[in-house]
């Protein structure tokens, strides 16, 4: 069988091998890179059932690359997941009638570590092999930044520039980023929203002479390797819960803002993992929930909430799903995305039963419901949810009418959001030694105006 190649959702990028796709990040035509086919692994499920997390990651990731030797891929994966505090890497816990997939046992206590501990090592491997240099430009709504910095800090061949929305991430999320003082790390507080940061990033990547001259790369979930790494934990969790319950199928509830996390589950389902359905959960910034319930994808005003990593109105990974929805027609994707960029709105026809996607249902939580879920699960089950995971749990409860087990993704450690936990429980419960140690650490950060030229000038003066 021919190896998988990576093509753009907009059709004007020459197919790429895996390593080149990783280094390219955003496609040169402004689209997102996707595999030219999705492998069917239905026949492998039984033999994968008892693999540990690194072994399973190897089996899945190797399907999508032919230019990284198996032995070296195993070493990179093993090194990435040795940094996790739990022996299972991503353990599953039974909490009441739900199963909680804990994705926060990595070094920065958020699900982004699962992908970025691997991606950081992958970048280092490719740059060493090619004698190259890389300037990573990233936008973060909270957790991506610290996980990306942790993955590449101190690396000789990489400089990383991380934009976050000034004053719109939690104090601990900000300190996790800005307390890293390595010479190759640059934190930028942009006077705008996360969507503004994301637009600046895409603007600079679309400036091809600038991108080429400064060897720009990305760790955001527009990078295919991020989504690929996240596919693994859907398989791992499904295997654990099916083993425990004997269920033929499972459901997943996913709190999401940028659509990358739930998209990984969608790919897992297409690969043959027996997922009955995916339940998408947003907060008040509900562009995705509205879309999957109405077919209308329309920007609103970003509202600051207790779950800041979901305070997003333009989901960067939506374009990958859209490509499949319109019959893998890159011209139609380009037309729709151009219209959305101009008008802030697009509409997709719904299926006969009124739904946009038969595999995804969606709902939204709000601050009151999120805090209530944190309080209920702590009082009833002695389990502390962070506000993002609590939004997912609340929406999961609205859809828990089927017999299949419900697996809720827990995307961050509650200690990252002490104010929300205190508001929910009236107690100071959200603590973690790694975060406590940051409170008096020195920090370094630059505040920039909300425009691409300011970021471009800053990066050009400091790029490696």
Neighbours of 248 (CB within 10 A): 10
Annotated catalytic residue within 19, 112, 202, 211: 112
Q: Which two tokens stand for residue 458?
A: 């800053």
Residue 128: CB atoms within 10 A of its CB come to: 12
Residue 94 a catalytic site member: no
Residue 205, CB-side half-sphere exposure with 13 Å CA sphere: 28
Query: What is the spatial distance between Cα 42 and Cα 321, in angstroms, rounded to a whole number?
Result: 21
Q: What is the dihedral of CA 246, 114, 14, 314, to 10 degrees?
A: 90
Active site residues: 112
């Amino acid at each position: 069988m021919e190896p998988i190649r990576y093509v753009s959702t907009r059709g004007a990028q020459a197919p790429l091998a895996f390593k080149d796709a990783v280094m390219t990040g955003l496609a040169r035509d402004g689209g997102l890179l996707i595999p030219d086919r999705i492998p069917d692994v239905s026949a492998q499920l039984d033999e994968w059932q008892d693999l540990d997390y690194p072994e399973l990651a190897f089996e899945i990731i190797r399907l999508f690359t032919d230019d990284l030797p198996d032995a070296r891929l195993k070493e990179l994966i093993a090194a990435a997941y040795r940094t996790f505090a739990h022996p299972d890497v991503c353990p599953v816990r039974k909490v009441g009638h739900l199963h909680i997939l804990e994705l926060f046992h990595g070094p920065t206590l958020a699900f982004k570590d699962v992908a970025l501990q691997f991606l950081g090592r992958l970048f280092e491997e490719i740059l060493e092999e090619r004698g190259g240099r890389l300037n990573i430009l990233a936008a973060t709504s909270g957790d991506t930044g610290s996980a990306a910095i942790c993955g590449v800090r101190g690396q000789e061949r990489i400089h990383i520039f991380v934009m976050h929305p000034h004053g719109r991430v939690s104090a601990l999320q900000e300190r996790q980023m800005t307390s890293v003082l390595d010479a190759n790390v640059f934190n930028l507080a942009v006077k705008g929203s996360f969507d503004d940061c994301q637009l600046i990033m895409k603007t600079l990547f679309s400036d091809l002479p600038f991108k080429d001259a400064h060897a720009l790369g990305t760790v955001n979930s527009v990078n295919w390797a991020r989504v690929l790494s996240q596919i693994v934990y859907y398989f791992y969790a499904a295997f654990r819960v099916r083993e425990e319950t004997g269920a033929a199928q499972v459901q997943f509830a996913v709190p999401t803002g940028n659509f990358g996390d739930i998209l990984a589950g969608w790919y897992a389902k297409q690969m043959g993992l027996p997922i009955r359905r995916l339940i998408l959960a947003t907060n008040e910034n509900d562009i995705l929930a509205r879309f999957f319930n109405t077919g209308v994808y329309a920007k609103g005003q970003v509202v600051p909430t207790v779950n800041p990593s979901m305070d997003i109105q333009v989901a960067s990974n939506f374009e990958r799903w859209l490509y499949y929805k319109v019959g893998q027609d890159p011209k139609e994707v380009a037309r729709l995305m151009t219209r959305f960029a101009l008008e802030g709105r697009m509409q997709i026809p719904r299926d006969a039963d009124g739904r946009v996607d038969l595999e995804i249902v969606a709902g939204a939580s709000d601050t009151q419901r999120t805090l209530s879920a944190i309080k209920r699960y702590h009082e009833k089950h002695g389990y502390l949810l962070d506000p993002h995971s609590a939004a997912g749990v609340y929406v999961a409860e609205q859809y828990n009418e089927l017999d299949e087990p419900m697996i809720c993704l827990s995307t961050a450690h509650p200690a990252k959001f002490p104010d929300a936990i205190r508001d929910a429980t009236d107690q100071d419960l959200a603590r973690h030694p790694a975060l406590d140690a940051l409170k008096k650490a020195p920090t370094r950060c630059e505040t920039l105006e909300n425009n691409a030229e300011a970021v471009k000038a800053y990066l050009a003066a400091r790029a490696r």
